[in-house]
Structure 1
Amino acid sequence: MSDSILRNTGRSGPRRFVGMLVADKLACAAALFLLLVFLCAVFGPALLGDAVTGTNLRARNAPPFSLDRGWLFLLGGDALGRPLLARIVVAAQNTIIIAASAVAVSLLIGSTLGLIAGYAGKWTGEVIMRLADVIMSFPSLLLAVIVLYVLAPSVANLVIVLAITRIPIYLRTTRAEVLEVRERMFVQAATVMGASSTRIMFRHIVPVILPTLLTIATLDFAFVMLAESALSFLGIGIQPPEITWGLMVSQGRQYLTTAWWLAFWPGLAIILTTMSLNLLSSWMRVALNPTQRWRLEIGGKTNG
């Protein structure tokens, strides 16, 4: 057993993680589904854009699993006769862009402020933490509703609002991690050797706390996507002719009793994507932790 572990730890980084991911069936299925969503977001509008914009009143509220009108109507048609399958594939782009952009902006700003708050002096850290408390004092969804009601609902405004509401998560987590890591022996040794504060933060502290931040970002991606869907469902998110999964659910709610599939399929896409993100986040929490990674390596060797 020990020899197999040593052979596993000697493999290259990417190959090692791929092997651990393949060994975990649930995490592997989640990663494959997220890869499919990503491919839909990248290539969907170019391949199926015309099918989404065209209308066909003869296919209005067409039931699912009926291939009389072609394979695009496998999931049925909407109120204007547009194929739901094509609309779900194309809507993946806006949904993923909004969630990924909001998470990236909040991660960058929040982690930078957290680094400063954790490593700088006491007064600087207190001022930054009070800023986080101000943001967290407002319910995130309520703040988004107020801002989007005042501003015009658009992709840019939606990303800004969602990013602002998520900054405190990364700020507080980064600060807590920095306060703990800065007391470790290797950081103190670098300080004694005359390393600058910038070098210590970005060469010694950031690599240690980055796995935690990436795990939180993966989980937060699902939360932001649900928040965007909720705002679109309330009618203050993305507006037609733009489309997201949340907007499709909103448009289909008035047909729940007569054409349930209009809201069911985009809702199912949201559920499966968030579930996959949660499963992948749980796997990453173990895979990126050197003290727990051995469990995945042993499990993969045993299953093999």
Structure 2
Amino acid sequence: MAVTPILPTESSSKRTARHVLSVILRDPLSFISTVIIVLFMFMAIFSYQIAPYPEEGEGKTHASNTLLPPSAEHWFGADKLGRDILSRVIMGSRPALIIPIGVVLFAVLIGAPLGALAGYKGGWLDEVIMRITDLFLAFPSLLLAMAIASALGRGLDKAALALIISWWPWYTRIARGVTLSLKERYFVEAAQAMGVSDTVIIFRHILPNTISPILVQATVDLGTVILAMGGLAFLGLGTQPPSPDWGLMVSDGRTYILDQWWIATFPGIAIFVVVLAFNLLGDTLRDIFDPRQYK
């Protein structure tokens, strides 16, 4: 007698999506954080069209505007090279948002399959994968990323690679924990009885059921990775001048903080708002996808 695997149907997926949307719309903080994230993503995609001075945003200097305070012409003022700070904040949203999304995506694509493989196969393979994972997790993620970025050299691409290397183990542990629970379920046993290969079971039956906890973790991690990218740029290990970057702008303005406060303040506010928005949205998703359902 054939047993149909118990998997989320299309209708249940639609119901889940509607439930998530309804919760976000009902919760003011979640709604505001979602709007903020959408606005910043729109700004990142169309930054060149939105920025009032896109050439200055990309790094073109304007000596006559050096250290101008906020005004009607330059809402956020100008930096030490006369560049419009509003334009550079807008242009800097692209590396600040799009690169961290890529970092988290690659970390998930590396870590989740490894965790599912370790949890499903067990034995020596589980031991090898998890001991390597524990080795990476023994160091704070940002400290490990700083060490890797220093070894690879300066640059945005190298900083992104350093963060991917230091972030994938978190998703390995999450996927392994969920897989240990799922592999004892009837739909997995039924698939095994029907002779379905381990690869198909892992990628078609197990990994799709790890999406909820991984999505919650990824949403929170986006804010953390944005902060980490800004920290690496602040230390000179990320984006290099004259390219716009929020962390680099904060670093450039730290020596002027007492007199020309606007140079570091506005990019710092941008980092704070985006990170807070992702954290609030992640908390909402955590409440929706209650981890107790996986016990």
Q: Check whether TM > 0.5.
A: yes
Deviations 1:134-163 (A, max 9, x none): 222333333333332233312221111001
Structure-to-structure mapping, 1:259-298, within 5 angstroms: 259-289=260-290
Which residue does 1:50 correspond to in 2? Answer: 55
Structure-to-structure mapping, 1:43-82, within 5 angstroms: 43-48=46-51, 49-52=54-57, 53-64=59-70, 66-67=71-72, 70=73, 73-82=74-83
Name which of 28, 32, 37 aligns with 1:34.
Answer: 37
Per-residue deviation, 1:290: 9.9
Q: How many residues end up aligned between the 2 structures?
A: 279
Tell whether 2:234 aligns with 1:255: no
Other structure's SS at 1:17 match: helix
d(CA) in 2 for partners of 1:21, 1:119: 34
Which residue does 2:190 correspond to in 1? Answer: 189
Which residue does 2:113 correspond to in 1? Answer: 112
Deviations 1:42-70 (A, max 9, x none): 11035432242333333222222x21xx2
Contact 1:30 1:276 in 2 (8 A): yes
Which residue does 1:296 correspond to in 2? Answer: none
Change beyond 3 A, Cα 1:13–1:178 = closer
Identity among equivalent positions (%) equals: 37
Which residue does 1:200 correspond to in 2? Answer: 201
Per-residue deviation, 1:116: 0.9
Identify the range of structure 1 (182-191 vs 87-96) with the bigger mean alpha-carbon deviation: 182-191
Query: Following TM superposition, where does structure 1 have runs of at least 4 consecutive aligned residues deviating by more than 6 angstroms?
Result: none
Which residue does 1:23 correspond to in 2? Answer: 26
Deviations 1:273-302 (A, max 9, x none): 11100111111123345989xxxxxxxxxx
Per-residue deviation, 1:13: 5.3
Deviations 1:226-263 (A, max 9, x none): 11111111122211122211111111100011111111
Letter in 2 for 1:58: S
Which residue does 1:91 correspond to in 2? Answer: 92
Contact 1:98 1:158 in 2 (8 A): no
Other structure's SS at 1:124 match: helix
Letter in 1 for 2:253: G
Letter in 2 for 1:55: T
Per-residue deviation, 1:38: 0.4
Letter in 1 for 2:64: R
Per-residue deviation, 1:12: 5.3
Per-residue deviation, 1:221: 0.9
Per-residue deviation, 1:94: 1.0
Q: Give TM-score scaled by structure 1 length.
A: 0.85
Letter in 2 for 1:31: T
Tell whether 2:178 aligns with 1:177: yes
d(CA) in 1 for partners of 2:13, 2:48: 43
Contact 1:118 1:176 in 2 (8 A): yes
